[in-house]
Structure 1
Amino acid sequence: MDQIARTLSLPETPREFGFFIDGEWRHGRELAEQRSPAHGVPVTRVARCTTDDLNDAVAAARRAFEDRSWAGISGGERAGVLLRAAEILRRRRDEVAYWEVLENGKPIAQARAEIEGCIACFETAAGAARLLHGDSFNSLGDGLFGMVLREPIGVVGLITPWNFPFLILCERVPFILASGCTMVVKPSEVTSATTLILAEILTEVGLPKGVYNVVTGPGRSVGQAMAEHADIDMLSFTGSTGMGRSCVHAAADSNFKKLGLELGGKNPIIVFADSDLEDAADAAAFGISFNTGQCCVSSSRLIVEASVADEFERLLVEKMARIRIGDPLDEATQVGAITTEAQNRTILDYIAKGRDEGARLLTGGEVLEIGAGRFIAPTLFSGVRRDMAIARDEIFGPVLSSFRFETVDEAIAIANDTVYGLAASLWTKDLDKALVVTRRVSAGRFWVNTIMAGGPEMPLGGFKQSGWGREAGVYGVEEYTQIKSVHVEIGKRKHWIG
């Protein structure tokens, strides 16, 4: 692996992975081959699990939860396991990033930075494991004492997407473990490698058998069965709002399991005339191009004050023209390949819709011929109306729609004119204006004079149709607990029957 990390060459043959249940590796009867989105060559072969495999994984997670091998130990002991995992992940950072690039198509420099964020997630969760606590009530009179206990919810099903396979996994797994829960993970069928590598790491650090299980395969079969499974106590799903709605129906029709949902976004970046326009232009270019726009918090709606709109769009076009797009194994690359052929078609279809509906294409919009991969130039449309498809739908690609406003109220109205409420970015030097807009725009994450900043100490999640619940930080541990009220009577009971 050290040699691969130095040369950043493609693997000579695809790497085969089993799946992981109850501390043991199993071999799939059928394997699915994944090709590099940037190079078109086979890179991994991963098992297509069955619902029987899922049932085995859930049963293993249930046994591990009930035997208290994880839930019954102290927060400090759980913290020790998580810290050891962070150390091993630090040693294996380049290896994990390499396989992330091969399956997903993101640039290697970006992948390494994401792994650093994953290490921070494990370290943060270790601290949260020690700090998780209940409460007490000494206000019920001399004869009664009250306690509120936080208990792990039980077996968690975790379904993760293909756009950030390892980062989104690590924004959840260590916090689920900190709570004392056990889990079954189903990664996207096209980006399963790094989720399986994490099984190796957690085994090495001494996580008890059955606490972390991985089943691989299609969402329409294994993922749906997970959502419907009556012995899963909570489901955490990250993906489209449409699939999130399916999870809600499946949970209601099975056991009313608790749901944590991080879903779609059509996120605004609001630029006022008094902002540093160079900084804001750089942020807008980054916000739509990062991870080729395949990012739920991607800033896909530019809302710019009319008096500076022409100047700002000119700055932005110049910025976007200088983005380095290419082979993701090249250290200099900033934007890599589109992960799946289906997503590539979707993005190109929306670009065509933008043209057809009368939006003005300022830059990008074309397919880039780079080797055998799927590459699309970051795209900016101006003159976008709020009823256009590119203005309303989550494209999940590097396509930015530009709007103009005259007043603060108009900017807020445009920002909130969406079914989503995941994230927003605001650019101004006026503190009063920043606080007004921050309070009135519906978004679970808000950035002022920055974009996509923060760390695992802060909660993640959305408003409206962008999801339910919160991940990361102490909030992300509490999300996987349930509260029990305990009343303790002191002294002899006052009898009801005389």
Structure 2
Amino acid sequence: MATTFGDFIQLLVRKLRGDDEEGECSIDYVEMAVNKRTLHMPHQLFIGGAFVDAEGAKTFETINPTDGSVICRVSLAQVTDVDKAVAAAKDAFENGRWGKISARDRGRLLYRLADLMEQHQEELATIEALDAGAVYTLALKTHVGMSIQTFRYFAGWCDKIQGSTIPINQARPNRNLTLTRKEPVGVCGIIIPWNYPLMMLSWKTAACLAAGNTVVIKPAQVTPLTALKFAELTLKAGIPKGVVNVLPGSGSLVGQRLSDHPDVRKIGFTGSTEVGKHIMKSCAISNVKKVSLELGGKSPLIIFADCDLNKAVQMGMSSVFFNKGENCIAAGRLFVEDSIHDEFVRRVVQEVRKMKVGNPLDRDTDHGPQNHHAHLMKLMEYCQRGVKEGATLVCGGNQIPRPGFFFEPTVFTDVEDHMFIAKEESFGPVMIISRFADGDVDACAVSGQCHGIWPGFWCLHQGHQQGPVCQ
């Protein structure tokens, strides 16, 4: 029952009108028989609870990286579409049911959404393999599995977001308290990268929705299909219209307009450092909106001579080649102590040659295609530059001669600090190995902090606690 008579009357009127019932949403699916199932994939913009064409009916082709074929044509959002989506999200936040329901009911809807994602997990994983080249078995467990876990986690937070009760100065009248109340910020713009399309969407969207915000999501232009399928599932879960909006399109157009829009109160972005700087500037100039950035990096892994070499090889392989190297926390550079360097490289190359590169839908595939053609070209240029600067190309470094965007798992040695490949992130299956002289690192302190030559790196010295070095 509603808590006040006025709210009760409004609830009654909405029920009589059928406004609270799940309306039938017309969806123009693209159907495709893949992976022993028929996929039903929305391909239009999702604005205000409906799938609609973009302004001017503009579209673009989304490509299957496994063979370079066109999966379907997807609506290409324009600036006017961004304005419509933001207006729908703002109305849902300020006037819709989303801002009026209890936090517990909000959590119940997110739990229902997680359940629907689990029911459709094989379909979502297949779409992820088809559109992003993700290995199906990995997509099922990581891309989709972690997305489901994320929504369940944040659904539990909905009714636990609380302020504080703070005693204040005992001036007259005394025994006073001040109360803080946490409230949602409003419309959030979410700009998603292409390496984990559904998981990155979930990490950002689940937290926004749990806090009571509404969202406008811009998936990467090369991987829009799981975001649109997710939009369909929000309808089935009963999430009110306008709370979630999805706009496939270019970053320079859609992402820029979201950053500039005065009614967007926060931007969440994952992508390159260069674009992140531009977004931060736009957010500051427009309305000083809040902004969260997850940008590029070059994470190191240091391997000492007294390590368990089998485990070191295993960890090195997974830290570089996981998800085809399209991983923001990949080990961008390995440092190996001189006395074990050659043996480490030999074992790594041996393991690389065992990897099966092929169709991501095959259950025994280890390594699928790179996400899109432009990224494949970038990796080839990256490796050519490494060879030109004097690094030793031990294996790989070339496109595999077959349809699609397949790139050989690659290993470089003799990499020096000044080289481009030592400083810049490949974001692909490229292992960068540098050697350091035996005993070139001081003994670790009892605390586990390594007082050596690499401030900010991580100590993996056998027998010592893992921890950041030289803080």
* TM-score bracket for this pair, using the shorter chain length: 0.7 to 0.9
Per-residue deviation, 1:31: 1.2
Q: Contact 1:305 / 1:404 at 8 angstroms: preserved in 2?
A: yes
Per-residue deviation, 1:44: 2.4
What is aligned with 2:59? 31
Q: Secondary structure at the match of 1:86?
A: helix
Alignment map for 1:322-361 (pairs within 5 Å):
322-361=354-393
**Residues 299 and 412 of structure 1: is their aligned pair in 2 closer, same or farther, counting only changes over 3 Å?**
farther
Alignment map for 1:176-325 (pairs within 5 Å):
176-325=208-357
What is aligned with 1:53? 81
- Residue 154 of structure 2: which of 125, 145, 151 is its match? 125
Count of residues in Structure 1 that have an aligned counterpart in Structure 2? 428
Q: Residues 396-433 of structure 1, C-alpha deviation per residue, up to 9 Å, x if partnerless?
A: 1111211223434698777558xxxxxx765343224x
Q: Distance in 1 between matches of 2:31 and 2:120?
A: 10
Q: Secondary structure at the match of 1:203?
A: helix
- Residue 412 of structure 2: which of 353, 376, 381 is its match? 381
Matched, 1:367 2:402: no
Q: Which amino acid aligns with 2:440?
A: T
**Residues 197 and 47 of structure 1: is their aligned pair in 2 closer, same or farther, counting only changes over 3 Å?**
same
Q: Contact 2:41 / 2:228 at 8 angstroms: preserved in 1?
A: no
Q: Residues 417-470 of structure 1, C-alpha deviation per residue, up to 9 Å, x if partnerless?
A: 8xxxxxx765343224x23xx2547xxxxxxxxxxxxxxxxxxxxxxxxxxxxx
**Pairwise CA RMSD:** 2.3
State the TM-score, normalized to the length of structure 1. Answer: 0.81
Q: Distance in 2 between matches of 1:271 and 1:111?
A: 29
Q: Which amino acid aligns with 1:118?
A: S
**Residues 208 and 89 of structure 1: is their aligned pair in 2 closer, same or farther, counting only changes over 3 Å?**
same
State the TM-score, normalized to the length of structure 2. Answer: 0.86
Per-residue deviation, 1:352: 0.6
Q: Distance in 1 between matches of 2:426 and 2:452?
A: 21
- Residue 86 of structure 1: which of 114, 122, 126 is its match? 114
- Residue 115 of structure 1: which of 131, 137, 144 is its match? 144
**Residues 31 and 409 of structure 1: is their aligned pair in 2 closer, same or farther, counting only changes over 3 Å?**
farther
Matched, 1:399 2:430: yes
Q: Secondary structure at the match of 2:194?
A: coil
Q: Distance in 1 between matches of 2:167 and 2:225?
A: 51
**Residues 219 and 412 of structure 1: is their aligned pair in 2 closer, same or farther, counting only changes over 3 Å?**
farther
Q: Distance in 2 between matches of 1:69 and 1:125?
A: 20
The unaligned stretches of length 5 or more in structure 2 are 1-29, 444-449
What is aligned with 2:23? none
Q: Contact 1:280 / 1:427 at 8 angstroms: preserved in 2?
A: no
Per-residue deviation, 1:95: 0.7
**Residues 386 and 159 of structure 1: is their aligned pair in 2 closer, same or farther, counting only changes over 3 Å?**
same
Q: Secondary structure at the match of 1:251?
A: helix
In our comparison, the structure showing a higher alpha carbon Rg is 2
Q: Distance in 2 between matches of 1:350 and 1:334?
A: 23
**Residues 387 and 175 of structure 1: is their aligned pair in 2 closer, same or farther, counting only changes over 3 Å?**
same
Per-residue deviation, 1:23: 1.0
Q: Distance in 1 between matches of 2:396 and 2:238?
A: 50
What is aligned with 2:99? 71
Per-residue deviation, 1:63: 0.9
Q: Comparing both chains, which one has the higher relative contact order based on Cα–Cα distances under 8 Å and sequence gaps of 6 or more?
A: 1
